[in-house]
Amino acid sequence: MLKKLSEKWTNLWMPSAEVVEEEELTKKKAQLEIKRDRKYESRWVWYHTLLAAELAMANLLLIWIAINTL
């Protein structure tokens, strides 16, 4: 009886190896998701920066055309 109580107490307060492994796996998955999100965000910023530059060039070209046709 005392042995069972001791095992339950140990399992309650001391995480087993399986729990530790599961926690490590979830931490690794979370780190991978963060890296993937950062990569996506940086690509998103560069893509939209290029779009903004292209739009600015198109506007300048249209302004130049409008001025030259007057």
pTM: 0.55
Of 12 and 67, more confident = 67
pLDDT at 13: 65
Residues 6+ apart with CB under 8 A from 15: 23
pLDDT at 47: 96
Q: What is the DSSP string of 3-58?
A: HHHHHHHHHHHS--HHHHHHHHHHHHHHHHHHHHHHHHHHHHHHHHHHHHHHHHHH
pLDDT at 49: 97
Q: Which two tokens stand for residue 20?
A: 């530790």
- Residue-range domain boundaries for the chain: 16-69
Give per-residue pLDDT as tens, 9-60: 776 666 666 666 777 888 888 888 888 899 999 999 999 999 999 999 999 9
pLDDT at 28: 84
CA distance linking residue 20 with residue 23, whole number of Å: 5
16-20 contacts, C-beta under 8 A, 24 or more apart: none
